[in-house]
A and B are shown apart, each in its own frame.
Chain A
Amino acid sequence: MRGPGRSWVTGLVLLLLLPCAMVISATMGFMEVPAIEVLHAVSGRLLHIPGQIDPVVMAVVTDVRLPRIFAAVLVGGALAVCGAVFQAILLNPLADPYTLGISSGAAFGASLVIVLQVFGLTLPASFSVPVFAFAGSVGTLFAVLALASGDRRLSSTNLILSGVIVAAILSAAIGLLKFLADEQVGIIIFWLMGSLAGVSWGDILLLLPVTLAGLLVCLMSGRELNIMATGERAAATIGVNTVRLRWILLVTCSLMSALCVAVSGIIGFVGLIVPHFLRYLVGPDNRWLIVLSFLGGGLLLLFADTLTRAVLPAEVPIGVLTALIGGPVFCVIFKNRQHDGSKGL
């Protein structure tokens, strides 16, 4: 019922859908632009052909909408890939890119700098919030790894527990920062809920190489990730260096997620739902799951972002939207799996 055939079909469908969705999304918004003009604007900008297109349309499509569309695809794709990999290395179907406290670290960093600004620190907000968020995530990652690496095997239970502990401490600290921010608390709350509204081409220039490099590292480890699912001792005696693989992938995926969070704030559920849904569709083979998660995650976040940007009357924070769409879908999958009678999700 599943296997390579189904994976190929799913992959091809997603590969066709994604560019179509990107073009359609670019036509939508306050100003409607026909699809053909979107393509003209893109080719015009790329090939430096001036004059064919209204410069306003050109600016709206290439400078306002496209960076945001690309960011949605890259952030969604990266988060879903990280989710798939985290689930595989932590041997836990409930893991997501934020399990090790990446999001709490970012939230703490961002809240800290926002509060410092309330108290008179002068740094440009557009620059300092992402930098502090990224630094917060990376700091958290190292704290969690330091806490968990007491046993050299870096067991998944230790990692998850360490993540929970550090995240709990950080969320208390964030609570304190919110209290200190007083009337300015809205800025923190809005940032925490995530948004792709302020994205520029500069962000894409950072996101694209990191995401593609991370994707490559994950893809190279696909078969070893599969073998990890059979347990520590079995994997080690079949030639998989489990500890080294965990280190490499945890650091890679954490950096990817940290960058995503720095660019877009905390967008939940994409990293949990997409790998789950695809595993349900094509099976647990990570070599497929990683590629398909990238395409599927990109598509889902693009859909959600287009919805909030162009369809809904007011811009709903995207983190809220993904949870509202993803949550019920997750419930349905979860229920179906129980009926199937299969124990391991």
Chain B
Amino acid sequence: MAAKGSDILWQLEGVSFGYTGKPVLDELNMVVEAGCCHGILGPNGSGKTTLLDLLCGLLAPEKGSIVFAGQSLSHWHGRQLARRLALVPQDFTVRFGFSVREVVEMGRHPHLPRFGSLGRADHLLVDEVMEELDIASLGKRSVTQLSGGEKQRVAVARALAQNPEVLVLDEATSNLDIYHSLAILEAIRRRVRSGKLTVVAALHDLNLAGFFCDRLIFLRGGELVYTGSVEEALNAALIHKVYGVEARVRQDDFSGCKQVSYRLSRG
């Protein structure tokens, strides 16, 4: 089911949400299109994680409506949604010593009947994603014994094993070293370019966003500040408006992306 560039995945209308009365997101209207990498950016407490939870159906909006793939999100059944959408949470901790392979295989759950077990095709898919994320050699290790970065790669592998059309990343690379951040994001980007995947990623690092994303969504204080392509969105004025820092943005020839440097505002 290849996603076309113009398909609308999510449509949010007047979405508000608050924990115990304090509004976290206020009257949000936006559209998320299929077929590219969307970055959600904003300072701490701007509502990024809440927005992701709403998009994944983990939270229901207090006001407004969210439509996913043409159907109100509240009408989606959990397993049905899990076949199309996968989440990589920020800190992926597994209690009990499941092996790495067992955890990745859990990604097949929404595709299997209750008492079914993995077939040949499922095992091949699991092999493939473990290879892609460089964890094939860790298969028998207990996840409780892995380093933070290895664990995060297992989380991404598990999400890809769900074979989703949409991948939601919540600061998924913040625990990773530079090599593995780039390698994982590159692997994900390849799938996006081949039209197989749409990504929505909450990010802190503007430079990583410049490298990874096609479109950016800026939030501040629970409100949508700006949404647009990376070329338009990454500019000094907007960064100052959202984060309150002075920034300089330039096109970097070496990485081929936009790069941002910043400092605290003076005076």
Contacts and interface: CB of A to CB of B under 8 A. Distances in A.
A92 B53 CA distance: 25
A54 to B, nearest CB: 48
B93 A342 contact: no
Nearest to A87: B96
A238 B86 contact: yes
B106 A226 contact: yes
Contacts of A1: 140
Given A231-B93, A279-B96, A343-B144, A236 B78 contact: yes
Interface string A60-92: 000000000000000000000000000010011
Interface string B88-132: 010011111111001100110110101100000000000000000
Contacts of B58: 233, 236-237
Decide if the interface of chain A is mainly helix, strand, loop or mixed.
loop
Nearest to B98: A284
A252 B138 CA distance: 37
A229 B82 contact: no
Given A279-B96, A344-B144, A238 B110 contact: yes
A126 B6 CA distance: 74
Contacts of B114: 220, 223
Given A234-B87, A279-B96, A227 B78 contact: no
Given A233-B89, A342-B144, A239 B110 contact: yes
A340 to B, nearest CB: 9
Q: Give the size range of B's interface with the partner.
A: 35 or more
A241 interface: yes
A230 B91 CA distance: 10
Q: Give the size range of A's interface with the partner.
A: 20 to 34
A238 B106 contact: yes
Given A227-B106, A238-B107, A284 B89 contact: no
A85 B173 CA distance: 33
Contacts, number: 95
Interface string A258-290: 000000000000000000000100011100000
A116 to B, nearest CB: 43
Contact of A342 (B92, B142, B158): B142
B89 A239 contact: no
Interface in B188-222: none
Contacts of A44: none
Contacts of B93: 230-231
A166 to B, nearest CB: 24
Interface of A: 1, 88, 91-93, 220, 223-224, 226-227, 229-231, 233-234, 236-241, 279, 283-285, 341-345
26 contacts: A88-B96, A91-B95, A92-B95, A93-B95, A93-B96, A223-B106, A226-B98, A227-B109, A229-B94, A231-B94, A233-B56, A234-B87, A234-B89, A238-B82, A238-B86, A238-B158, A239-B79, A239-B82, A239-B109, A283-B99, A284-B96, A341-B145, A342-B97, A343-B144, A344-B94, A344-B96
Which are the 3 A-B pairs with shortest beta-carbon distances?
A239-B82, A239-B79, A284-B96
Given A233-B58, A344-B142, 13 more contacts: A88-B96, A91-B95, A223-B112, A224-B109, A230-B93, A230-B94, A233-B89, A237-B82, A237-B85, A238-B110, A238-B162, A240-B78, A344-B95
